[in-house]
Amino acid sequence: LQKSLNETFGADKYSEARKEVLTNMFSRPMQMALYFCTGVLEDETLFRHYALNVPFYTHFTSPIRRYADVLVHRLLSASLGASPPLKMEKEAIQKQADHCNDRKMASKRVQELSADLFFSIFVRVRA
C-alpha cells in the first residue's frame, strides 16, 4: 500500500500532504485491538492476530505506560511461573479489560476529533 501511495502522488509540493491524509483515512477503519481475558472467551479464533497470521497473540508495552500493560505483565509472569498467581477471578480481569478498552476507545475518539478540529481551523485560515 505504501509503495502504491508513493507512486500515485508524484513529486509536487502537495504530494506528501495528500499521501499523509489518505494514509490516515485508510487506517481509521482498521479494527482496533481489544484487551480480553482468555478464560472468559471460549472462541479461540478471537485470540488470533490477523495481520501477523498467528493463532495466539498477546501485546503489551512497557508496564510504566498503561495499567493494561501492568496487568498483562503480571498475568504473563504468573503464567510462566516467575511470580505467584494473581488473586483475581477471571470475571474481574475481564471487567478491567473492558474498562481499559472503553478508555482506549474514548482516547482514540478525542484524538480523531482533535485532528478534525485542527484541520477545520487550518482550512478556514487558509481560505
The 10s digit of each residue's pLDDT in 49-81 is: 777 888 888 777 776 778 888 888 898 899 999
One domain for residues 57 and 118: yes
Total-model pTM: 0.66
Cβ atoms < 10 Å from Cβ of 68: 20
| pLDDT digits 0-9 by tens, 88-105 | 999 999 999 999 999 989
Q: Which domain holds residue 20?
A: 1-30
Please answer whether residues 101 and 31 qualify as being in contact, where contact means their C-beta atoms are separated by less than 8 angstroms.
no
- Whose grid coordinates read 478498552? 101
57: closest CA among 33, 31, 32? Answer: 33
Name the one residue in this structure whose C-alpha cell is 504530494: 15
Q: Is the same domain home to 4 and 42?
A: no
Q: Are 1 and 15 in contact (CB under 8 A)?
A: no
* 48 and 83 within one domain: yes
Do 45 and 79 belong to one domain? yes
| Residues 23, 54 within the same domain | no
DSSP state of 48: -
How does 30-41 read in b/e, with b if 16+ C-beta sit within 10 Å?
eeeeebbbbeee
Number of structural domains in the chain? 2
pLDDT (0 to 100) of residue 70: 87
